[in-house]
Structure 1
C-alpha cells in the first residue's frame, strides 16, 4: 500500500468541482460555437445547405421548440432532483445527500440541457430574414434537442435506480470497501517501530480553524518532519470534529545520536496544520467510519416508528458484516509513515475494532431492543466477524475475540423483556453460535435455519 498515492487520490476526490461548473462551462462553449458557426451560411444548391432543407419559418419554429423544451426538461430534472434529495434525507440518511451533489450523471444531464438551451437561443438571435440560413447551426441545434431528450430519459432511469435503498447501501458498501483497502495495511504487512516519547516534552500544535477533518496529507507531514528532523504524532482522525484552538498534533525533535525523539521542540505548526484538511462535512476518502455511519443511519431510520422496516435494517447490518470481516484482515489503529531513510517521521491515529463494533451495533441494538429479527441480524454479523477473527488470530483470537464477545454480551443485555420466549430463544441460540465461531467450531456456528441466514 502506498499511502502517499492514496493522499493524492483523496485530495483530488475532495476537490471535485461543484454542481454548477460543468453546466456553466457547457453554456460558454455553446455560446462560442454558435457565434463561430453563425458565420457559415452556404447558399442554396450547395452540399452543406442540404443539412437544413427547410426555410426561415421552419428553422425559427424548430429553434423555439428546442429552447422551450430545454427549459421544461431542465425544470423537470431539477424538480426530480429536489424530490430525490428530500426523500433520501427523510427516509434514509441526510449524510447521503453528498452523493447526489457530486453525481456525475446529474452534472452531465444539466450540462447537455444548458448547452442546448444556450446554443438554440444564440442561433435564434442570429436568424435574419432575407439572408442565407446558418444550416450547420440549425443541424447542430436539432441534434442537441434529440440529445437532450435522450439525456433526460437516461437521467430518469439513473435516478430511479439511485432512489432504491438497496442501491444506496451498495454504493456506500463499495465506497467503504475501497477506503478500507487503501487506508489500512494487511494484518501481516511489515510494521515499523513507532517511538513513544513523553507527551509533556513535545510542542503542541493547535487548530487554527474548525470543521471535520477530511484528509491527512501524510506526504506533506513527512516532508515537514524530515526538513526539521522531528517526529510528529497527529492527535485527530479523519472524521473527527475539530474546534479552533484544540490540540491536533505534538512535535518532538529527533536526537541525531540514536534516532529517538528528544525533548523540547517548537515544530512547524503552520505546515502541519495546513496538511490537515478540514471541511463542513465528512468525506469517505480516508474516513472508513463514515461508511459505517451511513449504513447505521439507514438501519436506525428503518426502525423508526414512522417507517418500521426491519428487513431494510437487517440488510444494512449485512453490509456492515462484510465490512467488519474486511477490517478483521487489516491492521487497525495507528498508521506510521516513514521517510526515504526508513525513519518513522509521522504517526496518524485511526480507529480500533471496538470503535467500529460500537458504531455498527450501538444505536441499532438500543432502538431494536424489542425486535428480535434485528437483534438476530446483529448477532449473525458478529458470528461472521468471529469466524474471521478466529481465522486471522488463531486459537483464542486475542483482543479482537474479546471485543466480539463484549459486543455480543451488550446485545443480549439490551434485549427487551417483552420479546416472546420463542423469539428470545432464537436470539440466545445465535449468541451461542457467535461463541462457537470464536472457538473455531464453524459447522456448529452456521448449522442453523433460524431467520434470514446461511445454513448447512
Structure 2
C-alpha cells in the first residue's frame, strides 16, 4: 500500500465517523455528558486547534531532523527514514483527531438543543490519548537516529536479508547442471526493459522456474538485484524453448522500483554502511570512529556471508532439471564493496587502517580455500597501501597492528611485532 494512503484513510474514516456517530447517538443513545455547552465547546475547540498546531510543529522538526541526519550519514538513508510507517500513522491519527473534534463540535448545542454528545466526546478523548501515545513513539523513533542505532539497524536489516536470500531458497536443490550445455546458441526469446530507468528490487525465481518448465527451456538472467535497467536493457534470455511464454509474464517476475530496496539485496545494507563510513571519513566531518563502528557491522555481515553458498546461482525444477541461471555477488564482490572505498578514503587514518587489518586477519581465519586466498591478497594490498602512504616509519608500523577498536587494544605479541614487514605480519596473523 502506498504510504500516502495511510493518513488519507485516517482522514476519510474520521469524516465518515463524524457524520455517522453523532446521528446514531442522537437517535439511539439518549445519554448526555454532564458538562455545560460552553465548557464542551472550549474542550473540543482546544483539542482541534491544538492538534493542528502539534502536527505542524512535530512534523516540521521531524523532517528537518531526518534531513539533517541523512545528509550527515548518507543521502540514500533519507528514503529509509522517511518511509517509516509510524510517521504516516502518527500524521493520520493527528489529522483524524482534529477532524473528528470539529465534527463533534458541530453537534454541541445543535439547533438550540441543550446537551453534549457523550459518546462522541468520549471518542475525542480516546483519540487524544492515542495521539499522545503515538507522539511518544514518534519521539522514541527519532531518537533512533543516533549513529550507533542507525548502524545497528542497518546491520540487523542486512543480517535478515542474508538469511532470507541464502537460506530460505527452496529452488536451490541439486540437479542436472550439465544440462545447460544443451541450450547453447541463439536464444529463442529475449526480454528487454522499456521505459524510464528503474532498479531491480527483487526477482521471483520460483515463478521463473515455473515459466521455464512450461517452455521446457532455460532462462538466463542478464541482470541482478540492485542493477539499474535502462531503455532496451536485456533482462533475460530464454534458450531451447518449445512453447513461448508472453514477455509480459516473464518481465513481471522481475520487480522494479525507482530505487533499490533491501529485499534480496544484502549488498544494499552493506552499501549504506560503507556510505556512512566514507561520509564520516570526509574532511568536512573527519570522524574515523564512526567508520570503525561501521566496519564492526560490515565484518559481522561478511562472517555470515562466509557461511553461505555464494556460488549457487542455479535454480532447478522438481524433476532436477536446470531451469534458471541468475546472477549473485561473489565473495570477491562482497570484499570489494565492503573495504575498497573505506580503504581508499581512510588511507590517512591510522585508526581505520588498524581496524581494517583486524577485520581482514580475523576474516581470514573464518574462511578457507579460495576465499581465504582472496582475503590474504586483500591484506597484502592493504599493507602495500600503508607502505606507500604519507605516514612516517613509526606511523606505518602502528598502522600495521591489528586493533578491533582502531585505537584502543592492539593485538600483537611483543614490542617488535609492530615493526615487522607487512608480509611477515600478515603471515603470522593468518597462520
TM-score range for the pair, normalised by the shorter chain length: 0.7 to 0.9
How far is 1:118 from its partner? Answer: 1.3
Change over 3 Å in CA distance of 1:190–1:41 after alignment to 2? closer
CA distance in 1, matches of 2:71, 2:185: 47
Q: Is 1:141 equivalent to 2:141 in the alignment?
A: no
Structure 2: gaps (5+ residues): 403-421
* Residues 27 and 118, structure 1, Cα contact 8 Å, conserved in 2: yes
For 2:391, the equivalent position in structure 1 comes to: 419
Structure 1: gaps (5+ residues): 1-16, 256-264, 390-396, 440-456
CA distance in 2, matches of 1:384, 1:155: 39
CA distance in 2, matches of 1:414, 1:211: 37
For 2:319, the equivalent position in structure 1 comes to: 341
SS of structure 2 residue aligned to 1:201: coil
CA distance in 1, matches of 2:398, 2:221: 45
* Alignment match of 1:72 (pick from 53, 68, 72): 53
For 1:116, the equivalent position in structure 2 comes to: 97
SS of structure 1 residue aligned to 2:374: helix
> For residues 302-333 of structure 1, what are the alpha-carbon distances to aligned partners after superposition, in whole Å with 9 as ceiling and x for unaligned?
00111111100000011000000001000113
- How well do the aligned residues superpose, as a CA RMSD in angstroms? 2.4
More moved, 312-321 vs 205-214: 205-214
How far is 1:129 from its partner? Answer: 5.0
For 2:8, the equivalent position in structure 1 comes to: 24
Q: Is 1:399 equivalent to 2:370 in the alignment?
A: yes
For 2:410, the equivalent position in structure 1 comes to: none
For 1:159, the equivalent position in structure 2 comes to: 142
> For residues 21-63 of structure 1, what are the alpha-carbon distances to aligned partners after superposition, in whole Å with 9 as ceiling and x for unaligned?
11111111112222222124569xx9843xx321211111111
SS of structure 2 residue aligned to 1:418: coil
CA distance in 2, matches of 1:251, 1:40: 62
For 1:34, the equivalent position in structure 2 comes to: 18
SS of structure 2 residue aligned to 1:278: strand
* Residues 34 and 116, structure 2, Cα contact 8 Å, conserved in 1: no
* Residues 55 and 91, structure 2, Cα contact 8 Å, conserved in 1: yes
Change over 3 Å in CA distance of 1:380–1:48 after alignment to 2? farther
**TM-score, with length taken from structure 2:** 0.86
Change over 3 Å in CA distance of 1:374–1:366 after alignment to 2? same
> For residues 141-187 of structure 1, what are the alpha-carbon distances to aligned partners after superposition, in whole Å with 9 as ceiling and x for unaligned?
12222332232133112211x2101111111111111111111149x
Count of matched residue positions in the alignment of Structure 1 and Structure 2: 401
* Residues 109 and 152, structure 1, Cα contact 8 Å, conserved in 2: yes
* Alignment match of 1:408 (pick from 379, 397, 413): 379
How far is 1:101 from its partner? Answer: 2.6
> For residues 241-265 of structure 1, what are the alpha-carbon distances to aligned partners after superposition, in whole Å with 9 as ceiling and x for unaligned?
111212222211269xxxxxxxxx9
